[in-house]
Amino acid sequence: MRAHRISLQDIATLAGVTKMTVSRYLRTPDRVSPETGAKIAQIIEEINYIPNRAPEMLLSSKSYTLGVLIPSFKNQIFADLLSGIEAATKEGRYQTLIANYNYDKQTEEEQIINLLSYNIDGIILSEKDHTLRAVKYLRAAQIPIVEVMDTQGSCLDMQVGFNNFSAGYDMTRTLLDQGRKRVIYFGSQDDRRDEFRYRGYCQAMEERGGTGDRVNPKAISSQKLGAAMLASALERFPDLDAIFCTNDDLALGALLHCQRHGIAVPGRIAIAGFHGLDISREMYPTMASVITPRYAIGYTAAELLLKKISDSRFSADSVDLSYQIFMGETI
């Protein structure tokens, strides 16, 4: 048989106050005298009381919950993003419901509908290319929406991130400015962000009279995949002297492949990654990369949601937090 759940009345009896006073303390502690608050807090700690928020959520128009959708639990990029989101929500009473869609639009649609069923107050999306049905459900929910990691083009409500086209262009120009002639682009999932980076790369190559070539396995990135992609690229493009990878996982894999096979970096091949993961800067040689502010993006996205939840007139539209080109020792 299920044990008796501690109630507000139990706490009130033990503290010698009314049930209403305990309820007031839990909702607005500053409206209870310090002495009474200290007494209630002590009782709560002694009996390990956990508030049941379900009744409050049913009576209130707010659930004090935000939905967050990310494409992968395995990717460090989104771990940093989630860390920023959690930091912003920690100060308030908000919790997060997190779902993964494995870079699949149909799965994203299903997860969006699932999150909306929990009466969330706002949602953070890691993608801007959604199914029509997903967009219809999001519009019908009439809740604040923030799309992250990309600031190009229109958005459903608000967006926070950086310009992937410009980042791809700038890193390619950096490689070309270092005297590289045959730069090959390494993609992965062929998602919207990856495509814009590739377009930026192509423009930079065309401006220097070159052509854009891409190795694009349409698979989830890993160091193992990066190593295999470089081995394949060396066969297809024997004159390549630089690679620009859509993320650091691929770049690190390529670097390890070079080290195992005695290929000089950056002497024979220059390598550049994307996102600037901590591990890429701990490697020797340190990896050149586009450093992106994932934590700040997550924090800002959650902050914007909370502001709009509290004031429906608030609007931020697009927030570009930019990026940095880190030269490292591989170019």
Q: Reduced to 3 states, what is the DSSP secondary structure of residue 31?
A: helix
Q: Reduced to 3 states, what is the DSSP secondary structure of residue 65?
A: strand
Tens-place pLDDT, residues 67-109 = 999 998 888 889 999 999 999 998 767 999 999 999 999 999 9
**pLDDT value at position 54?**
55
Please say if the pLDDT value at position 48 is more than 80: no
The chain-wide mean pLDDT, for the chain, equals 91
Mean pLDDT on 178-201: 94
Other Cβ atoms less than 10 A from the Cβ of 159: the count is 26
Mean pLDDT on 255-278: 96
Equal CATH topology for 8-52 and 61-162+294-321: no
Q: Return the CATH superfamily for domain 61-162+294-321.
A: Response regulator (3.40.50.2300)
CATH class of 8-52: mainly alpha
Q: Which residue has the higher pLDDT, 224 or 39?
A: 224
Q: Was domain 164-291 assigned CATH 3.40.50.2300?
A: yes
- Secondary structure E strands in the chain: 65-70, 95-100, 122-125, 145-148, 158-161, 183-186, 213-215, 242-245, 270-275, 288-291, 318-320, 324-326
Tens-place pLDDT, residues 299-309 = 999 999 999 99
- What is the domain partition of the chain in residue ranges? 8-52, 61-162+294-321, 164-291
Alpha helix positions (H), 28-120: 34-46, 54-59, 76-90, 105-116
Instruction: Classify residue 186 as left (phi > 0), alpha (psi -120 to 50) or beta.
Output: beta
